[in-house]
Amino acid sequence: MTPTRPSTAVSGVAKRTVLISGASISGPALAYWLARSGCAVTVVEKAGALRGGGYPIDIRGTATEVVRRMGLLPRLRDAHIDARRGTFLDADGGVVASLDLRAVTGSAGGQDLEVRRGDLAEALHAVVRDDVEFLFGDSVDTLDQSGSGVDVTFRSGGRRTFDLVIGADGMHSWTRTSSFGPETRFHRHLGYCFAIFTMPNTFGLSRELMMWNTPGKAAALYAVGDDDELHAFLTFHQPQPPLEALRDPDARRDLVARTFAGAGWRIPALVDAMRDAEDLFVDTAGQIRMPSWSSGRVALVGDAAYAPSFLTGQGSSLALAGAYMLAHSLAAHRDHTAAFAAYERDLRAFVAMNQALVDNGAATLFPTTARALEQRNARLRGLVTMPPTAARPGPTTPPRWEPRRRVLPSTGRQDPAAGFPPGGCGGARTTACTTNQPSG
């Protein structure tokens, strides 16, 4: 059977056809910007429907500007979690520090947002669903670049040809494995495992975070509203990734339960809830670091290309900024090789800066030694008395945003993003953001 090529002719100019694999954050964001620049976009998602709910994620700095340009700020402000209090506990549940989170977490002029991952995914989907073809419950089976495009076969049996295929399929990207090689080549293990799940709010928490620590182990409970559910998070130091255990659902539960056996406070109740949880997700904390994000007509975006890990709190922001930058490069260059090169050239330093947060101390929420834990606790106690403006600033160099061409070649329309960057706040966790200007 000859693969079908979508009809793409508009005003005699062939529309570029793009298949995006993955409909979480980077996929729909990229689809939006590509559709705006005149591409015919298809998004394939292996889940049967958009995945809602989920743990809280942050949208910071440059990414806030991306969602603003998508018209999503009002909706996301409504969804903003606005957690008020963070309480840190010692091994027995004694309070180490209790902080006003709004005063100490840092925000670029109060613009940063924290929303449920699913709320962001739904908002992104809502602004693009009418302009883009979504194929839920399907995935790519094979990719063949030997012709003039990418011949794709889908698990459901269909065959089609696209000009480009973009993997937005997350940390364990199939697109990356199939076109670039096994994950082990690009995965940097950061020495932690984590388990996330929801559990009943038997703690009576409301709009607050509670975190318990002992050396090498931590538990966090996050009440995102006045819900009767909590987002629970157990993390532990694991120098080598427990690959065998991660492959088997029962072994995953056993690993977490074994690690936290005998722990104090209400950890036994958390472990029981973890055992019962239907949405349990266990993984290693890791980063994806690749020498190149494209191979021929296939490229990667978001966690698939440069996952920074939850320890940085920057994954969603990078996914949004990266999607914007990739779409921008494709709009500016008809030749995909030049576009992918521009995407990498303009985004790499920003990715490196955000990934380096784990080396620069962003992981200190989860100290692995008694001494490091005591030092962290001392810092937390210091924050209780520190004035709000003294909170820690983050990296300040934004990616190179300036468009090389202001008019989109495929449409002749004015580039909706021309003039991007944001007014000076590009970095991660930008608390004091007054001097950093775009470099591009």
Ligand X SMILES: Cc1cc2nc3c(=O)[nH]c(=O)nc-3n(C[C@H](O)[C@H](O)[C@H](O)COP(=O)(O)OP(=O)(O)OC[C@H]3O[C@@H](n4cnc5c(N)ncnc54)[C@H](O)[C@@H]3O)c2cc1C
| Least distance (Å) between residue 285 CB and ligand X | 8
Please report whether residue 236 would count as binding ligand X according to CB under 6 A: no
| Least distance (Å) between residue 201 CB and ligand X | 18
Please report whether residue 170 would count as binding ligand X according to CB under 6 A: yes
How many residues bind ligand X (CB under 6 A)? The answer is 35
| Least distance (Å) between residue 348 CB and ligand X | 17
Residues 253-272 touching ligand X, rule: CB under 6 A, are none
Please report whether residue 396 would count as binding ligand X according to CB under 6 A: no
Which position's Cβ is nearest ligand X?
315
Work out which of 38, 286, 315, 421 binds ligand X, going by CB under 6 A.
315
The region of 51-59, 82-90, 260-268, 340-348 touching ligand X under the rule CB under 6 A is 51-59
| Least distance (Å) between residue 71 CB and ligand X | 20
Q: What does the block give as tokens for 261?
A: 């056996």
- In terms of CB distance, is 267 or 321 closer to ligand X? 321
Please report whether residue 316 would count as binding ligand X according to CB under 6 A: yes
Work out which of 15, 16, 19, 22 binds ligand X, going by CB under 6 A.
22
- In terms of CB distance, is 40 or 50 closer to ligand X? 50
Burial (CB count within 10 angstroms: exposed 0-12, middle 13-18, buried 19+), residue 226: exposed
Half-sphere exposure of 387 (CA within 13 A, CB side): 2
Q: CA–CA separation, 398 vs 112, rounded Å?
A: 16
| Exposure class string for 142-154: b at 16+ Cβ within 10 A, else e | ebeeeeebbbbbb
The region of 20-28, 71-79, 157-165, 398-406 touching ligand X under the rule CB under 6 A is 20-28
- The 8 Å CB, 24+ separation contacts for 248-254 are 249/280, 252/195, 252/280, 252/282, 253/280, 253/282
Please report whether residue 299 would count as binding ligand X according to CB under 6 A: no
Q: CA–CA separation, 438 vs 440, rounded Å?
A: 6
| Least distance (Å) between residue 22 CB and ligand X | 3
| Least distance (Å) between residue 311 CB and ligand X | 9
Burial (CB count within 10 angstroms: exposed 0-12, middle 13-18, buried 19+), residue 381: middle
Please report whether residue 119 would count as binding ligand X according to CB under 6 A: no
- In terms of CB distance, is 45 or 163 closer to ligand X? 45
Residues 174-203 touching ligand X, rule: CB under 6 A, are 174, 194, 196
Work out which of 25, 164, 199, 363 binds ligand X, going by CB under 6 A.
25
Please report whether residue 241 would count as binding ligand X according to CB under 6 A: no
Please report whether residue 24 would count as binding ligand X according to CB under 6 A: yes
Which residues of this protein are in contact with ligand X, per CB under 6 A? 21-27, 44-47, 51, 55, 57-58, 117, 139, 168-171, 174, 194, 196, 302-304, 307, 310, 313-317, 319
